[in-house]
Structure 1
Amino acid sequence: MNSRQDDLKRDLDAALQTRKELGKEYEAEIVDSFLTRLDARIDAQVDQRVADRLAQHGVGREGRGGRSWSGPGKLPVISLIMAIPLTGIAAGADLAGIVVCWAGIVGVNVAAALGSRREQQAPRSGRSDWL
Structure 2
Amino acid sequence: MDASDTELKKELNATLQARSELGTEYESALVESFLEKVEQRLDGTLDRRVRRHLAEQQVRGARSPERSSGYFGEQYGFAIVSLILAIPLSAVGVANAGIQGLVVAWLGIVGVNAFQTARSGRLFGRRAEERQKSDWED
Smaller-chain TM-score range? 0.3 to 0.5
Structure whose residues are more often helix by fraction: 2
Bigger CA radius of gyration: 2
> Scaled by the length of structure 2, what TM-score is found?
0.42
Q: Which has the higher contact order (CA 8 A, sep 6+)?
A: 1
